[in-house]
Structures are given as C-alpha cells and as structure tokens.
C-alpha cells in the first residue's frame, strides 16, 4: 500500500512538472467617465489606454509573462458615481493600480473613498483641478496632465497679450470649473485686466439665459467659459450665440473636442480661442503617432497622449516593483518616470523589461510631454492654444 501511494505521488508530481505554467492576470482599473459631461472624450482615452496594454502583452507580457488586463468602471464625471465605481475596482476586482479618474471630482472621490485606504496608486490623465494636488494621499495620486494652475494663468496671459482687458467669466460649479476659473481670474487681474462678471453655473439646466444676462449686463463683450462642451458650457455657448451679446469666446480643455464644431455652425464660432495641455513634440510623440495610426486611433484626440502614457507608466512601475502587489508601486513609478535613466519611448516595452531585469535605471519620456513627477505627483508642462478659423480648429502652438 505504501509502495502504491509513493507511485501515485511520483506520478502526480510528474504530471505537475509537465503541465504548463498558466499566466496570471495583472489588473489595472480604468476609472473612466464613459457617461456624463465628458463622455465625448472618453472613448479615445480608453482606447489609447488599452493600446498601451496591448503593446505590453504583445511584447511578452508583464512580470515574467503574466497578462496585463484592464477593468472598466464608469465614474460618470461625478463624485457620487465615482465612489462606488472605485470601490468595486479596489475591493472587488482587486486591481493593482488605477488609470483615472478623468474629471477632477471623480478622481478626488475615488481616491478618498477607496484608492488611498486601499493603498492603490492612481494616475489621472485629465484631472486638472488644483484640489487634486491638495489630497492627503500618502503619495498614491499622480497625474500626467498639466494642472489648471498653469492652464488658467496661460489663458489669462494670452488674452492680455492680444489686447483683451475686460472679460465676463462663467464656470461649472465643481472642482474643475472653480479651480480653472480661479487661476484665470487671479492671473488676469494681476496682469491689469478686469473680470467684469464671474458667474458659476450648474450642469443639467435647459435655460442659462439668467447667467448670460448677468454677464451681459456687466458690459463684457468677451465671454470665457470654463465648463463642458456637451453639458452646461456648451448650452451657454449656444444660448450666448443666439443672444448675440458677445464678440469673442474663450474656452478651456473641457470645451475642446470634435463635437464643438460638428454640432454648431462654425461661422458663429469664428475666432473662438481654446486652451489645452500641449503634447510633446519629437521622438516620443512620433512613436505614439505611429502606434495609434497602426491601431486606427488618433493621437491628436483630447487626452489621448496622456492616457497612453499613464497606463504605460503604471505597467513599467509594476514591472519595476517586481510583483503584482500594491506595495512599492508608488516608489517604482517615480523610478521609471523621473530622470536619470536610459530613455524609454512609447511602445518600447521589451527594451524596458530587459533594462529593468538588468538593474539599469530607465526614464520614460511621454508622448504627452516629459513626465517628471514632483513632490505632489504633478508634472510641469506647456499649454497650446487653438483658434476656430474658416470652419476648423487650428493649433496656434504654445502660449509663450
């Protein structure tokens, strides 16, 4: 009987040794605003993020051959929806890290409710509100998008340089709108301009004529709108055009996107100015341009470069940490993103893996710009401005 038991044990061991080792899934949560006021941007961002995952898996996978996968949760650009969505990613799906959120309020709610208590690193590609940098986050919340403290200042400087000295201002009443409007107003006034009227607006209303009338009554002929194109900001723009009260419009990144012109008469928007974080120029951008074209995607879509960079950086940090474990990813993220190190471009996963395995420092250079995380997890960067001209949104380059 003992001899039979030993024989069975040996046979079982032989079968185990001969069986292939199955790869495990390493999960990255996507806290994405696929519904709500920025739903028009979300598909391109999610596609770019998944392209980064495809590039990793096509070049051997992560952590010795495991498969990197995304788990999607809709945060709807709303803190109330983001809380449960983040909770599912952190506590039910057991993701290793999170890409997102997109809207600032969603990022803050997801971080405070689940990611920070769960020791989960987040990288947002689009949450620009200054309040994100003020989170007590144990070095877990990062973003690779230029914060509104820069965008608002640059927008104010641009208008002043063009000779506009008085404006009316309206902003969506949330972390994004109030942060961007505050940065703009402070810089505009400091530069010698006057904000004749500063009016908050709520999304979801049918009639914004009272807000428009209040701004019109101040005497402003330039209207700055910090809101969302397919929500209150877009409705205000439509009703302001109908009223014929203003001769100049300006919007931030929330007003950008293909739908701005596709759903309106372009002639009504002639001369409108938009500001948005500038993508990098040079080898990193060119590398992602080639990857997106091969995948049938558009590298110039809103926050596409930031989205790809965020997920590729998370993958690099997991590889650097050496385990699909939440501990250590924050420190590893700074190691792979910040100089010094051998430069890694978008898509260069196999090269990065080899260098990490050899103990060589790497420095990922993003298509969205140089990613050097500061003490609060932010990046420096530049702002482009765009002007509606002849039925198209024309990139005028950097705001100097």
Instruction: Return all residues near 199 (Cβ < 8 A) that are at least 6 apart.
Output: 168, 169, 170, 171, 211, 214, 215
Distance of CA 241 to the CA centre of its chain: 30
Between CA 16 and CA 202 the distance in angstroms is 62
pLDDT in tens, 217-228: 999 999 999 999
Between CA 34 and CA 47 the distance in angstroms is 12
Best CA proximity match to 226, nearest among 244, 203, 242:
203
First vs last C-alpha separation in the chain: 85
What pLDDT sits at residue 23?
57
What pLDDT sits at residue 196?
98
Distance of CA 127 to the CA centre of its chain: 6
What pLDDT sits at residue 13?
34
Between CA 381 and CA 3 the distance in angstroms is 72
Half-sphere exposure in the Cβ direction for 7 (13 Å, CA): 4
What pLDDT sits at residue 230?
87
What pLDDT sits at residue 163?
97
Tell me the three state secondary structure of residue 227.
Answer: coil
Between CA 260 and CA 393 the distance in angstroms is 9
Instruction: Output the six-digit token pair for 107.
Output: 């990022």
What pLDDT sits at residue 381?
83
Instruction: Return all residues near 183 (Cβ < 8 A) that are at least 6 apart.
Output: 130, 148, 149, 150, 151, 152, 153, 156
Q: pLDDT under 70 in the chain at which residues?
A: 1-23
Instruction: Output the six-digit token pair for 178.
Output: 């109030």
pLDDT in tens, 99-130: 999 999 999 999 999 999 999 999 999 999 98
């Amino acid at each position: 009987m003992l001899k039979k038991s030993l024989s069975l044990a040996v046979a079982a061991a032989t079968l185990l040794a001969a069986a292939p080792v199955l790869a495990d899934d390493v999960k990255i949560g996507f806290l994405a605003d696929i519904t709500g006021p920025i739903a028009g941007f979300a598909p391109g961002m999610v596609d770019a993020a998944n392209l980064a995952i495809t590039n990793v898996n096509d070049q051997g996978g992560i952590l010795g051959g495991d498969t990197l996968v995304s788990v999607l949760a809709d945060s709807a650009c709303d803190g109330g929806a983001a809380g449960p969505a983040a909770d599912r990613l952190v506590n039910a799906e057991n993701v290793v890290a999170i890409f997102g959120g997109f809207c600032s309020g969603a990022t803050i709610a997801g971080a405070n409710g689940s990611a920070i208590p769960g020791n989960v690193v987040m990288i947002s590609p689009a949450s620009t509100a200054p309040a994100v940098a003020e989170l007590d986050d144990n070095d877990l919340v990062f973003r690779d998008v230029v914060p509104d403290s820069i965008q608002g200042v640059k927008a104010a400087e641009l208008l002043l340089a063009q000779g506009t000295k008085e404006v009316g201002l309206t902003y969506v009443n949330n972390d994004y709108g109030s942060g961007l409007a505050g940065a703009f107003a402070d810089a505009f006034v400091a530069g010698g301009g006057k904000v004749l009227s500063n009016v908050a607006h709520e999304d979801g209303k049918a009639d914004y004529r009272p807000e428009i009338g209040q701004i019109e009554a101040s005497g402003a002929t330039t209207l700055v709108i910090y809101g969302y194109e397919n929500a209150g900001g877009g409705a205000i723009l439509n009703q302001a055009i109908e009223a014929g009260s203003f001769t100049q419009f300006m919007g931030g990144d929330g007003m950008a996107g293909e739908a701005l012109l596709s759903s309106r008469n372009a002639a009504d928007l002639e001369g409108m100015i938009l500001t948005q974080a500038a993508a990098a120029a040079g080898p990193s951008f060119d590398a992602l341009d080639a990857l997106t074209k091969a995948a049938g995607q558009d590298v110039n879509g809103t926050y596409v470069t930031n989205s790809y960079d965020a997920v590729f950086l998370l993958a690099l940090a997991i590889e650097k940490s050496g385990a699909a474990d939440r501990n250590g990813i924050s420190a590893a993220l700074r190691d792979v993103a910040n100089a010094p190190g051998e430069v890694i471009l978008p898509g260069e996963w196999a090269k990065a893996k080899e260098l990490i395995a050899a103990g060589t420092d790497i420095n990922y250079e993003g298509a969205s710009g140089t990613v050097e995380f500061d003490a609060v997890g932010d990046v420096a960067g530049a702002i482009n401005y765009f002007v509606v001209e002849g039925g198209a949104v024309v990139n005028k380059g950097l705001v100097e």
